[in-house]
Amino acid sequence: MSAKATIGAAITAAGASRPRIVLGVGTFALESDVHYPHGTVFVGAGSALTNLTYTGTGTAFAPSTPGARTFYPRFEGLQLQGPGKATATVGISLDSVTDASLKDVIVRLFGTGIRIHSALNGGAVYNHLDHVTASSCGTGFKVDAVGSNATKLIGCRANSCDIGLDITDSNNTNWIAGSFEANTTGVKVTATSNALSDQNVVAFARFESNTTAWSVTSANVRDFQVLFPSLFGPYAIADAGLRTTHWGNPYTVTNKTASSIASAAGSWRYERVINGGAESPAMVVADSVTTSGTPVTLQVETERASGYFLRGKRGGTTYFDVRADGLISGGSSTTAGRPTGSIRTGSQWFDTTLRKPIWYNGTAWVDATGRKV
């Protein structure tokens, strides 16, 4: 009897109770789709010991009622192999499934390894994936449609996929630890309109041998967070999102850096959002070594002849620039609009009424001759 027939018979025999399917050591053929009801448990001997080979053209494991609510399925300790990453197949579908648990599962050679999807409001929520690997798939993990929220992936791995993790119109997906290895794109986040892909997080993840580490496709994607990534190679980063947070030193291995932000509008933002403070810096770049040497503490580079090294802005107004050709453009105002209050000795200003530069000598503004003006 085939694995499909055996599993199907066990599900039928369980009737209204929650089926528990125990799979032993070996390789088993799965020639067509398995449809699981509420609470079905699939337990293998381990992902290296229990192997299911799917030769169908659809979805290897799917809920009995896709598009309607299904609760509490569990997959543990098995490997599922499909017919190829270029196919339209899906390894495990959690269509409108809530509170699913996947642990020690490997899914490989599918068009989509694992898909979490629901068009129902809150239809696919609180699903938990623990040490799950998607390998050599078109898309490793896909979380999509507005009803798919609050997914947690702990210690998971996406390897040799076109896209490792694809989040489309889904909020609060949390990928914690784990790795993205040898993918064309490690993480891709997309939203067709505002509020559909908000507050997704990738934290403490390892990025190795990917072409693009992560891609945030538009400003419709809001508050995406990449926290303390480990980048093990020079990767492109495409970020056109709104308020994307890149936090923590992403360059944990010597001489390995993110090579580019592949968006003209993209930027990395570190934002302090708290009132108060007395000239306390939001960021400090420090060289605390007191021994000999002539190191550079901070170096800003641009290869664009018409670009800028630095720019200072407040309230949307630019107050100073350091251009790529070395020109420093400082502040200016009329005589009546000169800065007041605490001014550091040696500060320079351009007085547009007098049409000349002036300096603060500690007590008053003076011109190049030292005369008070």
In the chain, where does the domain assigned CATH 2.160.20.10 lie?
Answer: 3-261
Residue 250 has pLDDT above 80, yes or no: no
Region 154-177: mean pLDDT is: 97
Buried b / exposed e over 32-69, threshold 16 CB at 10 Å, is: ebbbbbbbbbbbbeebeebbbbbebeebbbbbeebeeb
Would you give the DSSP letter of residue 372? B
Region 3-261: CATH code: 2.160.20.10
For position 245, what pLDDT does the model report? 79
Residue 248 has pLDDT above 70, yes or no: no
For position 23, what pLDDT does the model report? 92
The string of pLDDT tens digits covering residues 251-292 is 444 334 444 555 555 566 666 666 677 778 877 888 888 888
Model pTM score: 0.74
Comparing CA positions, the residue from 297, 279, 280, 301 lying closest to residue 288 is 297
Region 185-213: mean pLDDT is: 94
The string of pLDDT tens digits covering residues 200-213 is 999 999 999 999 99
- Within 13 Å and on the Cβ side, how many CA atoms surround 160? 9
Q: Which two tokens stand for residue 291?
A: 């021994």
Interatomic CA distance for residues 313 and 85, integer angstroms: 49
For position 274, what pLDDT does the model report? 65
